């Protein structure tokens, strides 16, 4: 019962808050052109700072080019800060130079809103690298996703002018992310999270041993880490570290923050396209998948860990291995589902210690990559499934498929299929390569099905721009850093570029009047069709590797949730 109430508190609270936030985000990202309004005053300010780059209307091609140019600059600037941190200020703990492949992986990770970390932040990067490179990227990479969603929604609303990327980037950063980050950072600081630019504290224990306690501007870093579905931890243990997660209330605020903006993005999309009932159907589908995975994760984690098998220990509180004991056995699996239903990637438990079928739940989230998903891009990924669902439904009833009064034809379907195949290729191809070569096998701490799951999870996380990991891998090697870095970059921009191209193509078409045979996208029938499309595509694509990894491990140590051997 306590587990049900806790899930309801977190998911329900975020869902309620997402409604007014979605309304505000529509105002911020796509304001009505009313002379003298506050939104237009902000627009003039952004035009002043952005110069002529923000004054040009852009079609989908120009919008994509602007986005790519800016992201290249993001990568280069952050790479420079990290490469030369030992020569730069704000380095009170004297952090040294970082190895080249790790810098590439980290720059790719934070530029792509993935935040996969093959390092421990407090022992690797200076405060300047953490703030000016990594935290800055957590703002602008998240803002890129929100901007891309706003542009796609404008195209689907029938506008050939998708807006201006540089103007949208400023709107998302300064009107959406920064105000929310300030509020959440204050809540974190009040909850006991450190916020200082002083170096590590030196303390002497009661035994007379000197202890070095890392600290820093943690509250500000963690606030945007959660809100921007970034996930990169200030400390290596991420949100299992007491400085990143001091109390029950900071834990609850963090979990709500993970899914708040992704939920609000659905309502923002619905308001821009003028179809709130359609947004409600999509929101409902996403919520069903989220609750199904959360229920499965909490249920499967009720079984005791196999590490205690054969020991004279009576355990009836679930699997506590690798958990933050202050928060019990429920928070870890729920957080694992929330962080992988979005592209957040932060962790409050060791995913490598989850029971096998519990570990499958976050993998499913990253494979489907559309259960609210990342900031902005989650709804973009769901749009790909919507295109295919509309196409299949249209073929079933013998009509030309239509979405928002515009025909879905071969060109749009091909782009949607390419986006889905690319996601699967990055996961399955990368896992196969590393499972068959010493690049992967020599870095495993576990053999058999669990070791395979560790490699599968790593590429799933990189391809979904998630950033979490099983962490049973010795993944800070050249092959892992380069391979996952490339996957993160490709998997970030292909699923943004192709949907924007689809939206641009649909915007150029004449709207078709609705008739009795038109597939409605605002009813339960469409919701069921969308659920079926997602399940069939996901099952056909990923069930074989699931059977080789977590399912095989579960069958090997099959126990009921209460510990009895089956």
pLDDT at 19: 97
One domain, residues 417 and 284: no
- H-only helix segments in 171-306: 178-190, 218-227, 248-273, 276-300
Closest among 523, 234, 554 to 393, alpha carbons compared: 523
- pLDDT-derived band of residue 315, with 50, 70 and 90 as boundaries? low
Q: Which residues are CB-contacts of 244 (< 8 A; sequence separation ≥ 6)?
A: 193, 218, 222, 233, 234, 235, 237, 238
- pLDDT for 313 beyond 70: no
- pLDDT for 561 beyond 80: no
On whether the CB atoms of residues 443 and 66 are closer than 8 A, the answer is: no
Residue 14, CA distances (Å) to 49, 71, 105, 138, 260 in order: 34, 30, 32, 21, 5
Over residues 168-189, mean pLDDT: 95
pLDDT at 563: 46
For 245-270, the DSSP string reads S-SHHHHHHHHHHHHHHHHHHHHHHH
CA gap 25, 519 in Å, rounded? 29
Over residues 57-81, mean pLDDT: 94
Domain count, the chain: 2
Residue 180, CA distances (Å) to 219, 225, 228 in order: 13, 12, 10
pLDDT in tens, 246-293: 888 999 999 999 999 999 999 999 999 999 999 999 999 999 999 999
The structure tokens listed for 274 are 């003028």
**């291995």: which residue's tokens?**
321
* Average pLDDT score, the chain: 88
- DSSP E strands, 140-243: 201-204, 210-213
373 domain-assigned: no
pLDDT at 210: 83
371 domain-assigned: no
One domain, residues 343 and 405: no
CA gap 81, 78 in Å, rounded? 5
pLDDT at 521: 85
On whether the CB atoms of residues 203 and 211 are closer than 8 A, the answer is: yes
491 domain-assigned: yes
One domain, residues 383 and 360: no
pLDDT in tens, 100-145: 999 999 999 999 999 888 887 667 888 888 888 888 888 999 999 9
Residue 527, CA distances (Å) to 16, 140, 196 in order: 21, 33, 48
370 domain-assigned: no
Closest among 341, 249, 344 to 295, alpha carbons compared: 341
One domain, residues 114 and 252: yes
pLDDT at 172: 96
The H-or-E segment that residue 406 falls in is: strand 406-407
End-to-end CA distance of the chain: 25
3-class secondary-structure state, position 93: coil
- pLDDT for 463 beyond 70: yes
pTM equals: 0.92
3-class secondary-structure state, position 192: coil
Between 204 and 264, the more confident residue is 264
The structure tokens listed for 317 are 């509180």
CA gap 380, 269 in Å, rounded? 10
Strand partners, 211: 203
One domain, residues 158 and 238: yes
Q: Which residues are CB-contacts of 149 (< 8 A; sequence separation ≥ 6)?
A: 265, 268, 269, 376, 377, 379, 380
The structure tokens listed for 120 are 């421990």
Over residues 394-417, mean pLDDT: 87
One domain, residues 415 and 334: no
The structure tokens listed for 19 are 């409604």
pLDDT at 516: 64
3-class secondary-structure state, position 510: coil
pLDDT at 257: 94
pLDDT in tens, 142-166: 999 999 999 999 999 988 889 999 9
One domain, residues 386 and 244: no
185 domain-assigned: yes
Strand partners, 407: 402
CA gap 470, 395 in Å, rounded? 41
Residue 513, CA distances (Å) to 273, 404, 406, 519, 528 in order: 16, 10, 9, 12, 24
pLDDT at 287: 96
One domain, residues 349 and 432: no
User: Picking from 13-27, 40-54, 301-315, 511-525, which range would have the lowest pLDDT averaged per residue?
Assistant: 301-315
For 409-433, the DSSP string reads -HHHHHHHHHHHHHHHHHHHHHHHH
208 domain-assigned: no
pLDDT in tens, 30-50: 988 777 678 778 888 888 787
One domain, residues 359 and 391: no
CA gap 345, 229 in Å, rounded? 7
One domain, residues 303 and 425: no
The structure tokens listed for 146 are 């929100």
372 domain-assigned: no
pLDDT at 345: 85
Over residues 211-226, mean pLDDT: 85
Percent of all residues in the chain with a pLDDT value above 90, rounded to a whole number: 55
Between 8 and 552, the more confident residue is 552
- pLDDT for 562 beyond 50: no
Domain of 473, in residue numbers: 379-556
One domain, residues 383 and 507: yes
The H-or-E segment that residue 402 falls in is: strand 402-403
565 domain-assigned: no
Say if strands 210-213 and 402-403 run parallel, antiparallel, or are unpaired.
Answer: unpaired
3-class secondary-structure state, position 138: helix
pLDDT at 322: 78
One domain, residues 431 and 283: no
């Amino acid at each position: 019962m306590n587990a049900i109430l806790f899930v309801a508190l977190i998911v329900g609270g975020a869902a309620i808050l997402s409604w007014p936030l979605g309304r505000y985000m529509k105002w911020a990202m796509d304001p009505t052109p009313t002379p003298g309004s506050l939104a237009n005053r902000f627009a003039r300010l952004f035009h002043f700072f952005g110069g002529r780059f923000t004054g040009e209307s852009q079609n989908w091609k120009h919008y994509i080019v602007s986005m790519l140019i800016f992201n290249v600059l993001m990568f280069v600037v952050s790479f420079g800060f990290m490469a030369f941190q030992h020569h730069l200020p704000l380095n009170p703990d004297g952090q040294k130079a970082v190895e080249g492949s790790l810098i590439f992986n980290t720059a790719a990770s934070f530029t792509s809103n993935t935040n996969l970390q093959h390092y421990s932040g407090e022992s690797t990067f200076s405060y300047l690298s953490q703030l000016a490179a990594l935290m800055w990227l957590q703002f602008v990479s998240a803002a890129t996703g929100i901007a891309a969603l706003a542009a796609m929604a404008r195209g689907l609303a029938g506008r050939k002018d998708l807006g201006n990327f540089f103007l949208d980037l400023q709107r998302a950063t300064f009107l959406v992310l920064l105000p929310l980050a300030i509020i959440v950072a204050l809540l974190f600081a009040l909850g006991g999270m450190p916020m200082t630019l002083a170096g590590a504290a030196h303390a002497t224990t009661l035994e007379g041993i000197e202890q070095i306690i890392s600290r820093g501007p943690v509250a500000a870093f963690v606030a945007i880490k959660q809100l921007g579905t970034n996930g990169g931890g200030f400390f290596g243990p991420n949100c299992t570290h007491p400085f990143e997660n001091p109390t029950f209330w900071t834990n609850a605020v963090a979990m709500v923050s993970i899914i708040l903006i992704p939920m609000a993005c659905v309502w923002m999309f619905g308001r821009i396209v003028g179809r709130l009932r359609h947004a409600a159907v999509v929101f409902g589908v996403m919520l069903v998948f989220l609750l199904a995975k959360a229920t499965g994760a909490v249920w499967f984690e009720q079984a005791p860990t196999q590490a205690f098998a054969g020991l004279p220990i009576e355990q009836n509180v679930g699997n506590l291995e690798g958990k933050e004991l202050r928060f019990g056995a429920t928070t870890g699996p729920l957080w694992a589902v929330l962080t992988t239903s979005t592209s957040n990637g932060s962790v409050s438990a060791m995913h490598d210690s989850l029971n096998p079928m519990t570990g499958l739940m976050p993998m499913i989230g990253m494979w489907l990559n559309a259960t609210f998903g990342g900031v902005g891009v989650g709804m973009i990924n769901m749009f790909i499934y919507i295109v295919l669902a509309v196409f299949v439904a249209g073929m079933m009833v013998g009509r030309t498929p239509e979405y928002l009064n515009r025909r879905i034809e071969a060109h749009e379907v091909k782009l949607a299929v390419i986006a889905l195949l690319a996601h699967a290729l990055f996961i399955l191809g990368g896992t196969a390569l590393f499972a068959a070569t010493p690049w992967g096998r020599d870095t495993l701490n576990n053999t058999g099905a669990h070791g395979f799951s560790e490699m599968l999870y790593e590429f799933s996380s990189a391809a979904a721009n998630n950033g979490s990991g099983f962490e049973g891998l010795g993944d800070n090697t050249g092959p892992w850093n380069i391979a996952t870095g490339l996957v993160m970059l490709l998997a970030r921009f292909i699923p943004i570029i192709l949907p924007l191209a689809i939206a641009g193509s649909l915007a150029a078409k004449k709207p078709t009047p609705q008739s009795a045979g038109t597939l409605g996208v605002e009813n339960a029938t469409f919701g069921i069709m969308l659920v079926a499309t997602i399940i069939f595509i996901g099952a056909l694509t990923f069930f074989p590797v699931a059977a080789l990894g977590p399912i095989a491990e579960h069958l090997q140590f099959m126990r009921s949730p209460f510990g009895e051997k089956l």
